[in-house]
Amino acid sequence: MRAVLFDFSGTLFRIESTEAWLRAVLDDAGIVLAEPELGQVAKALEVVGAQPGGVFPERLPEGLVELWRVRDESAEAHRAAYTGLSRQVPLPRADLHDALYARHMTPAAWAPYPDAADVLRGLSERGLGIGVVSNIGWDPRPVFEAHGLGRFVDAYVLSYEHGIQKPDPRLFAAACAALEVEPRDTLMVGDSAEADGGAVALGCRFHLVRHLPVPERPDALRPVLDLVG
């Protein structure tokens, strides 16, 4: 192996809980909800899939089906899809839906998995190229920088910048080109067999990790160091 590609959300980083996400936005707005009500609203947001990086919607409103399908192909589609889902849940003020969307793009909303830094450092010290290939509608570079991981990443290939989404092999091909490596010499690591596993069609190897809360997944990335030899 000469390079390793990583997914972002659910692979290297995990978004905060829906309740913490909502609480942070309410605190910034100076709005206080009783704990039972806050919990109920957070659960409702989770059910509709309003939090990017969180759980997928249990059911898509008819008017959002097509937008959801292409949500990661542009920043505009991403924002429209997720704020559209959020607006299914009544909030104390209408502007809080946009505030929730803005919150999820901040470094404070994300935590790296416990072994992410060690694994990225180990790969970098071995001279392997490191890329991030993500289906996303915004730039996660500030998240990597704020958590001290940006120095390990050689290339970011983001769906909204290319107008295509994983599992389209063209996104993985762009990452290999950016790192100047052949797909056969590249390992893709991600939490989605469908999306991230699309790298296999290009000739990359693939390693699956589970999308779990940070405390429940302390060392799932460490096998990558053995896989690259």
pLDDT digits (tens, 9 = 90+) for 67-114: 999 999 999 999 999 999 999 999 999 999 999 999 999 999 999 999
pLDDT digits (tens, 9 = 90+) for 82-93: 999 999 999 999
The mean of the pLDDT values for the chain is 97
Distance separating alpha carbons of residues 123 and 152, to the nearest angstrom:
9
Token reading at 37: 């009500």
pLDDT score recorded for residue 154 = 98
Residues whose CB falls within 8 Å of the CB of residue 149, separated by 6 or more in sequence, listed in order:
12, 112, 116, 117, 120
Give which of 90, 115, 86, 93 is closest to 21, Cα–Cα: 86
pLDDT digits (tens, 9 = 90+) for 171-229: 999 999 999 999 999 999 999 999 999 999 999 999 999 999 999 999 999 999 999 98
pLDDT score recorded for residue 47 = 97
Judged against a pLDDT cut of 90, whether residue 8 lies above it is answered with yes
pTM: 0.96
pLDDT score recorded for residue 229 = 83
pLDDT score recorded for residue 14 = 98
pLDDT digits (tens, 9 = 90+) for 129-186: 999 999 999 999 999 999 999 999 999 999 999 999 999 999 999 999 999 999 999 9
Ordered domains of the chain (ranges, CATH): 3-14+110-227 (3.40.50.1000), 15-108 (no CATH)
